[in-house]
Amino acid sequence: MSPIKVGLLGLGVVGGGTWKVLNQNADEITRRAGRRIEVVAVAVRDVEKARALVGDQVQITTDGMDIVRNPEIDVVVELVGGETLAKDWVMEAIAQGKHVVTANKALLANHGNAIFAAAQEKNVMVAFEAAVAGGIPIIKAMREGLTANRIQWVAGIINGTTNFILSEMRSRGLSFADALADAQRLGYAEADPTFDIEGVDAAHKLSLLASLAFGIPVQFSKAHIEGITTLAAEDIAHAERLGYTVKLLGITRARKNGIELRVHPTLVPSSSMLANVQGAMNAVMVYGDAVGPTVYYGAGAGELPTASAVVADLVDVARLLTADHDHRVPYLAFQHNAMADTPILPMADIQSAYYLRLRVEDRPGVLADISRILAESQISIGSMFQEPAVNDETDIIFLTHEAREGDIEAAIERIQSLDFVRSPVTRLRVEEL
């Protein structure tokens, strides 16, 4: 059988890893795919650097359009990132009738609906396992392995940079700034880490997982996003004292009136699996009504782990190349004409338990006033403790039972107006999972 001919857009960390995996495991990949997978052309910025890696056996160009319009190429693998050139190249590849493999979560989070619609029209495949959680096969698990289930919720640590920072803050008692500096020194964080530490990268990935879980269009713009930049070391320590660990989680959950789609720092029980995911590793929990909770753990980034997912997609394309389009696995797990228009819930309507920390004047009646406001807001207190007073001020920490976010926000606004409150109330969400 003739080989699958591949064009690589980008030969950086992931592109270089994809080249290495395809070559070092060529025989094993051929046995699995049923035919050889050959890279015949690459588009790069630095031709000399690319030539040193791929040698003379591969066409090298600096224009991605040379790849997507090459009639010999069957599959275009987009590994350049970003949303401008990448979108143009992917859409043109689809227009040319080529299958696409991409690791670009930002591209799919913002333009996935248009890309999948175009691919459906042209009867081509778009595979994106590497776009979420690196080498963890979470996309395949949700698209295929869990199809018998009505998914109830998905929660995951899907950004390794923030997980490394939070692990350092917890284990070493570092401030956020010091932990970030360590992450940058060790190569876990970019020079500009904004997308990671502000939660945007995780939200890109979560929007794709929500679509796979619930059969809805990709709706990144409706995700609630909070990062970890304002997280205080003292709150991590307080959480530990209460039996919790703070993680940046992406959470999507089906409710009767809509779907939650949110990324934020979250207290999870210290005995839970997610709490014990350390360093730059990723983990995703999926709860299906038939199977119950399932957990997927592994390297969420890196040259070879991400390349593993890219090559797995290429093998899938090779296997399904001759299959009728209507009998291939749908892009977002559900048939394209069966997608739901279930609304994304505003944050005011989500349900969660809460951690509240208040710095207050140490005087009689403070606790009674705060408790009264919480009770009037239909918020039940699960537990609380008070720190020893320093300079006539003290911290009071509450854990609430599950409540509506809008009620919590209203209560916090009332509490902060009290004359004995000395600083803004710290609020973190708590998930037992």
Q: What is the pLDDT of residues 344-369, one digit of tens each?
A: 999 999 999 999 999 999 999 999 99
Query: What distance in Å separates the CA atoms of residue 407 and residue 72, rounded to the nearest whole number?
Result: 60
User: Which residues make up the CATH 3.30.70.260 domain(s) of the chain?
Assistant: 349-430
Residue count (the chain): 433
Residue 19, pLDDT above cutoff 90: yes
* Residue 326 confidence (pLDDT): 78
* Residue 321 confidence (pLDDT): 86
DSSP assignment string, 5-47: EEEEE--SHHHHHHHHHHHHTHHHHHHHHSS-EEEEEEE-S-H
Instruction: Give the CATH number of domain 4-135+303-337; options: 3.40.50.2300, 3.30.2040.10, 3.30.365.10, 3.40.50.720.
Output: 3.40.50.720
Coil, helix or strand at residue 316: helix
Instruction: Give the CATH number of domain 349-430; options: 3.30.70.260, 3.30.460.10, 2.70.98.50, 3.40.50.620.
Output: 3.30.70.260
Q: What is the pLDDT of residues 255-298, one digit of tens each?
A: 999 999 999 999 999 999 999 999 999 999 999 999 999 999 99
Task: Give the model's confidence band at 1: pLDDT under 50 very low, under 70 low, under 90 confident, else very high.
Answer: confident
Two structure tokens written together for 147: 């199809």
- C-alpha dist (Å) from residue 137 to 98, 111, 131, 154: 24, 22, 10, 15
For 276, residues 6+ apart whose C-beta sits below 8 A from its C-beta are 245, 270
Query: What distance in Å separates the CA atoms of residue 335 and residue 129, rounded to the nearest whole number?
Result: 18
Two structure tokens written together for 152: 């109830």
Residue 322, pLDDT above cutoff 90: no
User: Which residues make up the CATH 3.30.360.10 domain(s) of the chain?
Assistant: 138-298
Q: State the chain's mean pLDDT as an integer.
A: 96
Q: What is the pLDDT of residues 172-195, one digit of tens each?
A: 999 999 999 999 999 999 999 999
* Residue 167 confidence (pLDDT): 96
For 410, residues 6+ apart whose C-beta sits below 8 A from its C-beta are 377
Task: Check if 205 is active-site.
Answer: yes
- C-alpha dist (Å) from residue 240 to 237, 269, 309, 341: 5, 9, 35, 40
* Residue 146 confidence (pLDDT): 98
Instruction: Give the CATH number of domain 138-298; options: 3.40.50.300, 1.10.10.10, 3.20.20.80, 3.30.360.10.
Output: 3.30.360.10
Q: What is the pLDDT of residues 214-252, one digit of tens each?
A: 999 999 999 999 999 999 999 999 999 999 999 999 999
Catalytic residue among 5, 205, 247, 256: 205
* Under 8 Å between Cβ of 262 and 277: no
Global pTM reads: 0.96
- Which residue's entry shows tokens 């969400």? 429
DSSP assignment string, 327-362: GSPPTTSS-GGG---PPBPPGGG-EEEEEEEEEEE-
Percent with pLDDT over 90 in the chain: 97
- Which residue's entry shows tokens 């140490």? 362
Average pLDDT estimate for 1-15: 95
* Residue 211 confidence (pLDDT): 98
Q: What is the pLDDT of residues 121-147, one digit of tens each?
A: 999 999 999 999 999 999 999 999 999
Percent with pLDDT over 70 in the chain: 100
Two structure tokens written together for 138: 């979470």
For 102, residues 6+ apart whose C-beta sits below 8 A from its C-beta are 77, 78, 79, 86, 90, 108, 126, 127, 128, 130, 131
User: Which residues make up the CATH 3.40.50.720 domain(s) of the chain?
Assistant: 4-135+303-337
* Residue 57 confidence (pLDDT): 85
Tell me which residue of 193, 179, 293, 295 sits closest to 232, measured CA to CA. Answer: 179
Q: What is the pLDDT of residues 42-81, one digit of tens each?
A: 999 999 999 999 999 899 999 999 999 999 999 999 999 9
Query: What distance in Å separates the CA atoms of residue 346 and residue 368, rounded to the nearest whole number?
Result: 31
**How many other CB atoms are there within 10 angstroms of residue 330's CB atom?**
18
Residue 323, pLDDT above cutoff 90: no
Two structure tokens written together for 112: 């996935």
Which residues in 168-202 are b (16+ Cβ under 10 Å) and which e?
A: bbbeeebebeebbebbbeeebbeeebebbbbbbbb
Q: Give alpha helix (H) positions in 37-192.
A: 47-54, 64-68, 85-95, 105-122, 138-140, 160-172, 176-185
* Residue 325 confidence (pLDDT): 80
